């Protein structure tokens, strides 16, 4: 997947086409159908300080090399790992691996959500995070 994204940066005919293809991996079908993705693409293209293609590729390279799973058992604070049920970029099974590595972590799957629930369903996402903090702050 990340190799495809790296390739896509250089092969997409233009930035809009790049974002349209990349966002198929990031946003739910609902967000594509209801115009959310189109709005995000328009906002991204209008932004005065866009991320350079090379910077995105370096970000992907760092992501591919990043592995700190062995450090997660050292986390001692309350931890909530949220995964989108429809996330194909970082499937819920990967969130489960992270949660299992953090002592006492809570793992939850957000039904119908993809990789960016905080953008697509901010009320649902924020309510879940607030509820978690209310539970642990008691």
Structure tokens at 131: 């509820």
pLDDT tens digits, residue range 9-52?
888 899 999 999 999 999 999 999 999 999 999 999 999 998 88
Instruction: Say how many Å lie between the first and final Cα of the chain, rounded.
Output: 41
pTM for the model stands at 0.86
Q: What is the DSSP string of 60-126?
A: HHHHHH---GGGGGG--S--EEEEETT-SSS-HHHHHHHHHHSTT-EEEEETT--S-HHHHSHHHHH
Residue found under tokens 């328009």: 42
pLDDT tens digits, residue range 40-99?
999 999 999 988 888 988 988 898 888 999 999 999 999 999 999 999 999 999 999 999
């Amino acid at each position: 997947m990340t190799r495809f994204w790296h390739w896509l940066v250089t092969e997409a005919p233009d930035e809009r086409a790049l974002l349209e293809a990349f966002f198929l991996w990031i946003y739910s079908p609902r967000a594509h159908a209801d115009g959310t993705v189109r709005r995000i693409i328009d906002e991204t293209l209008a932004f005065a300080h866009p991320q350079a293609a090379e910077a995105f590729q370096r970000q992907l390279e760092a992501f591919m090399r990043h592995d700190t799973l062995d450090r997660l058992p050292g986390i001692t604070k309350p931890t909530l790992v949220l995964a989108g049920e429809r996330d194909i970029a970082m499937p819920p099974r990967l969130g489960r691996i992270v949660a299992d590595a953090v002592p006492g972590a809570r793992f939850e799957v957000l039904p119908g959500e993809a990789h960016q629930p905080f953008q697509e369903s901010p009320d649902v996402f924020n309510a879940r995070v607030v509820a978690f903090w209310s539970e642990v702050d008691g």
